[in-house]
Structure 1
């Protein structure tokens, strides 16, 4: 064991820029135990702009860091209405049901309130870790990637272990990283930004119709200009973004953030519906600004030495999807995941290379989708903007889970190819499918008791458990369902009348896409932990199932059941089903040991549930003497209950269930720690159903077949 002197010390992190990206990174790195200093060019480090979208992909990250948008006035999106320039409605949709597929709601927040909350939590004396130090009026002149040194315009310099360039579109850090003078350019469009109290809009008969429904975003789209209006601050303020050709406001000043006049604003949108012009007349000239919407060519690299770029410094965003702030928060989350408390200083460059690998493709794809969303409508491109497809890609991602998985894969591979011994195959023996003479063994009279808890979890996390890119979820969203199921089998003839117990994790609504483009839908079996080595070896060898050994304890008190998985006394998984009540069993019921999937009604907003054909597993047989290579790997479909349908004779059900996970250590769980620690990371958003079923009839699973 390493001595205290050999343990990695906290990193000294210098962050250039204290906007949303910089402060999010500072908060997360502070919680990781690092020492953080921020350098902000302005005096007050006060974020400019009016409002910001906190879509599900970044909302969940903020909540993980303890930033709760509803506490500073953020309100959820309820619907959307779009108009043409004449005020004719082209789309009017209530989004409340369709947005339920995302674990975290799409929120609209006052940008300054978000900035203030991030700054407060990052620098406050209370809280986890050492408070970040914020140095205002600190204009950075240069950054040295080799020494991680920041030099200010006054000549003072500061050295650390890691530098993050979060200094926005006009980044000074960018040149130090790319070694090129890459600057943003005018996209051809500019935007007036301003806010109007909802009460003022409601008081005007010409405009009160626009605020009759809380939480609605409204967009007017003309030939070469558009007006976007959405609420924030608990639906008391309406944020406006008025996008137009840059030349229409260029004569009124220079720079990317310029003062504007109400006359200019009204003139630019004079051809729009009179009700829109009435809205624009309410703008407060004292706070009215016009912003040049900047775009930038893709930079060749995000990192150099011990310096990396985050947010707009790496990829300035146009506003057309409201994802600029969200992608910046994702960048910061990835940095926080990749630099946990125990990160060695010497690994900083390779971790930054991994950061760029993780973030580059997604950030630039969302950037391209944003450019598409902002195109002026023409006969040629009309209808090319696929809003639902773009939304699903933008919202359906959790960077915290994704970066955690990528870091784990990176650490696995650091010392060359690993010897993969996935819980998928080991050792041939006589099995439930045949005796030692190869004869089938009937199991109609074998008994079972099954305890199952169906739960909601993060789709992004569960996606990291899929063994190949061919596996994915049928439905979009950041929420998916899985079942943790324990079964006790008794009176098994192939075991001389004995039995055993197993606990497995099934992920529902999964599809496997075949090479010919067809697909198979089922529940993916991640792992099956069994209390008998004979069952483990035969199931892995003959079915390709992900089986490992563990001890399974069951305490059944009638009204409550406790299930515990352990290894030589080290417990790592516990299921508690309390308040169980017996209910009638239909004569045709067949759920039990043979099925973890079952037909279920769809949650609101998700449409019809996918029809599942059985259990999906993935067989992997390692090649001897060739680390990282396989002799065989392919997907398998098991149609459970196909040969011997289980007969459920007693059922107890409850709405009360608890799951407890303990990751253990490599010493306490030397062969199971990788599984136990992964299960302990699985977020549980809620229990869908908990039940205990007893009956007879155990299928031998001989229906298992390769999918292709």
Structure 2
């Protein structure tokens, strides 16, 4: 069987590994002119790590990742509002329950375990399908015919927009900056991830391998591509977060100005299906979620593991029906939970924020653990590797 994958991001590379385990022929078409280690940091939780294990990618990924034992939600002064004990989850699951790493390190790990043709500089602009084939058209006028297509081309997916023209992207009403800072500040534990909430803004810190800190900063926004926000640099962010606890000022101060990545936060309104004929959507192309639960990359990796296992055990059409049955509902639940988290985290009324913080502090740890278990504690069928 031959498959064409659109997009060489996390979803595309992971899915390619799954199909290669089955013995399929795979080609990837990527719009970027070359594959570069772009981006800042990301987290992978137990669900993603389990999916990587069944795909044979776990060891390669965690080799350059920082294990996380604890997530602390803080107020602006640095007082703890809520703690998640990931060390306890790791002990209970019998494997790591969270790691943080550079997005480029994840890309390198996935590429190191993959040997397939990757055609760069190929931007897919439309897709059409019938019962026998899918025709993909690229920006340069080239066309490619395929009997099976995996659309892994991100939140702005041209394949999704061609086959699901009613799909809509949704602005979460906040914007985000990300970067990597050099050096570990005194007192910052490498195994502790923190997220600090204030009125309409927040900031997260996590150590990554190489004596570096991955950080993200968010603030509310009224419109997409606000020119007043698009020109903000590190010095403006230092002023915006100058009243945040240590080591926030030090981390921002050690950030190279040209390393800053700015993005408005979008997700996708829920789709009724992630398949159409012999085309299947994976990752952000299918179910882009806000980053608030740290599940964007994880859901993409889950998609790849589930799809590969199903294709190894069922005819293609049956596998795709079952893929929809397993993935659509789960993705919708996580997308809805992420939206809710964002709304609460980005509350900006200075009179309500202290009340919010008190309520967050009062949530029982056992309740939060049960909510996390529903996201993290899922099983994956083994992928039947070809002889």
- Interval of TM-score (by shorter of Structure 1 and Structure 2): 0.7 to 0.9
- Secondary structure of 1:44's counterpart equals coil
The equivalent residue for 1:142 is 126
- Secondary structure of 1:243's counterpart equals strand
Seen in structure 2, the aligned counterparts of structure 1 residues 90 and 41 have a Cα distance that, compared at 3 Å, is: same
The equivalent residue for 1:152 is 138
Seen in structure 2, the aligned counterparts of structure 1 residues 238 and 155 have a Cα distance that, compared at 3 Å, is: same
- Secondary structure of 1:291's counterpart equals strand
Q: Does 1:242 align with 2:242?
A: no
CA drift at 1:282: 2.1
CA drift at 1:141: 1.6
Alpha-carbon distance in 1 for matches of 2:153, 2:124: 9
The equivalent residue for 1:683 is none
The equivalent residue for 1:348 is 316
CA drift at 1:387: 3.1
Seen in structure 2, the aligned counterparts of structure 1 residues 174 and 218 have a Cα distance that, compared at 3 Å, is: same
Does the CA-based 8 Å contact 2:6-2:153 persist in structure 1? yes
Alpha-carbon distance in 1 for matches of 2:141, 2:225: 36
- Secondary structure of 2:273's counterpart equals coil
Q: Deviations over 1:469-524 (max 9, x none)?
A: xxxxxxxxxxxxxxxxxxxxxxxxxxxxxxxxxxxxxxxxxxxxxxxxxxxxxxxx
The equivalent residue for 2:100 is 108
- Secondary structure of 2:150's counterpart equals strand
- Secondary structure of 1:164's counterpart equals strand
Does the CA-based 8 Å contact 2:61-2:109 persist in structure 1? no
Alpha-carbon distance in 2 for matches of 1:25, 1:101: 29
The structure with more strand, counted as a fraction of residues: 1
Seen in structure 2, the aligned counterparts of structure 1 residues 319 and 305 have a Cα distance that, compared at 3 Å, is: same
Q: Which runs of structure 2 are paired with 1:50-65 in the superposition (5 Å)?
A: 50-65=40-55
Seen in structure 2, the aligned counterparts of structure 1 residues 306 and 214 have a Cα distance that, compared at 3 Å, is: same
- Secondary structure of 1:60's counterpart equals helix
CA drift at 1:153: 1.6
Of 177, 183, 186, the residue aligned with 1:192 is 177
Q: Deviations over 1:106-142 (max 9, x none)?
A: 221221111122123222xxxxxxxx21100001121
Gaps of 5+ in 2: none
Q: Does 1:338 align with 2:329?
A: no
Does the CA-based 8 Å contact 2:5-2:27 persist in structure 1? yes
Q: Does 1:363 align with 2:355?
A: no
Does the CA-based 8 Å contact 1:219-1:229 persist in structure 2? yes
CA drift at 1:198: 3.0
- Secondary structure of 2:87's counterpart equals coil
Q: Deviations over 1:257-288 (max 9, x none)?
A: x6741122123323433642333222211111
Q: Does 1:302 align with 2:292?
A: no
Seen in structure 2, the aligned counterparts of structure 1 residues 70 and 306 have a Cα distance that, compared at 3 Å, is: closer
Seen in structure 2, the aligned counterparts of structure 1 residues 31 and 301 have a Cα distance that, compared at 3 Å, is: same
Equivalent pairs, count: 367
Does the CA-based 8 Å contact 1:69-1:109 persist in structure 2? no
The equivalent residue for 1:278 is 250
Gaps of 5+ in 1: 1-10, 124-131, 202-207, 405-708
Does the CA-based 8 Å contact 2:51-2:305 persist in structure 1? yes
Alpha-carbon distance in 1 for matches of 2:252, 2:245: 11
Aligned-residue Cα RMSD (Å) equals 2.6
Does the CA-based 8 Å contact 2:54-2:305 persist in structure 1? no
Alpha-carbon distance in 1 for matches of 2:61, 2:14: 17
Of 123, 146, 157, the residue aligned with 1:171 is 157
Alpha-carbon distance in 2 for matches of 1:248, 1:233: 36
Q: Which runs of structure 2 are paired with 1:292-331 in the superposition (5 Å)?
A: 292-331=264-303
Seen in structure 2, the aligned counterparts of structure 1 residues 70 and 14 have a Cα distance that, compared at 3 Å, is: closer
The equivalent residue for 1:230 is 206
The equivalent residue for 1:667 is none
Q: Which runs of structure 2 are paired with 1:493-532 in the superposition (5 Å)?
A: none
Does the CA-based 8 Å contact 1:28-1:65 persist in structure 2? yes
User: Which one has a bigger Cα radius of gyration?
Assistant: 1
Alpha-carbon distance in 2 for matches of 1:151, 1:74: 38
Alpha-carbon distance in 2 for matches of 1:161, 1:259: 45
The equivalent residue for 1:119 is 111
